[in-house]
Amino acid sequence: MHIGFIGLGHLGKAIATRLLDCHHALTVWNRTPSKAQGLKAEVAQTPAAVADSGIIFLCMFDSTAVQTVLTGKDGLLSGNIAGKIIVDLSTNHFKNVASFHEVCAKAGCTYLETPVLGSVVPASQGALTVLVSGDEAGYEKVKPVLADIGKNIFYLKKTGLATKMKLINNLALGSFMATLAEALALAEDCGIAREEVLDILAAGGGSSLVLNAKRNKLLVEDFSTHFSSALIYKDLHCLQDLAYEQKKTLFTGSVVKELFARTFELGFAHEDFSAIYKVFRRD
């Protein structure tokens, strides 16, 4: 199948590579064209040029970037978009996705909010968890392609639910990561070797997908970016807005958001979010 793909950051490029490995043909666009290097794909000059594909994936940093790609100069919706399906993998603000559904419907295409759970490694293995909200007929059409990138697919039909669930998932994700990092730093301060701490946590209360995914990064302090602190901070900010709208107190999420805010102050917000370990470590 011929697929359009916009957004070649760390996660986007991993997903695009996976789609190529599954024998799909890709036309890609990224604001920085050099990000397409290494992909055996046609490189479009504008987002509008990607609209010739029947299915177009978006994988952007935030809702502002999605809005620009959709409706900005030479935006996707100015192209040959009628009848096409836009699969937005971005983690958006829950208020923005309603307008994305609306503006795409007016342009004659289908918009599916399709945030994913997982990062670069599961993306490269086709093992992401995919959440989908939007038109059911559109979902059924793209489901076989989603199965190429996702091990688990959950269809939450009502507009906004997939995005809200992604934010709620990241409450658990960010909280687990911060707790593991603090536990490691405290145990090391007590004189226990890092590798032993990680082994004990994995056999005990720290056993989790998060520790499995980030164990080696913590062990060797390789904080090359798979999913950045800047991204989890953005998501937790959106989560606070969700809690405000629901009139619910957000205890853990608010504290964890401020811990990730420290990564900006300390200068490593764009490293992997496991680098929050450095917030707790005593040098």
Domain residue extents for the chain = 2-158, 163-280
- pLDDT tens-digit map of 177-221: 999 999 999 999 999 999 999 999 999 999 999 999 999 999 999
- The CATH class, in words, for 163-280 is mainly alpha
What was the pLDDT predicted at 282?
A: 76
Q: Is 166 a catalytic residue?
A: yes
Could you tell me which of 282, 270, 276 has the C-alpha nearest to residue 224? 270
Average pLDDT over residues 213-242: 98
Q: What is the pLDDT of residues 52-81, one digit of tens each?
A: 999 999 999 999 999 999 999 999 999 999
pTM above 0.85, yes or no: yes
> pLDDT-derived band of residue 283, with 50, 70 and 90 as boundaries?
low
The mean pLDDT of 93-115, rounded to a whole number, is 97
Each residue's pLDDT tens digit, 144-157:
999 999 999 999 99
> Residues 13, 84, 164, 166: which is the catalytic one?
166
Pairwise CA distance, residues 104 & 101, whole Å: 5
Q: How many CB atoms lie within 10 A of CB 186?
A: 14
Q: What is the pLDDT of residues 36-50, one digit of tens each?
A: 999 999 999 999 999
Can you tell me the mean pLDDT for 123-135?
Answer: 98
pLDDT of residue 38: 93
Residue 251: band (very low, low, confident or very high) from pLDDT cuts 50, 70, 90: very high
Percent of the chain with pLDDT over 90: 99
pLDDT, the chain, mean = 97
φ and ψ at 49, to 5 degrees?
-70, -20
CATH of domain 2-158: 3.40.50.720
Give the residue-averaged pLDDT of 11-23.
98
DSSP string, 83-110: T-EEEE-S---HHHHHHHHHHHHHTT-E
Residue 193, H or E segment = none
Half-sphere CA count of 67, side-chain side, radius 13 A? 10
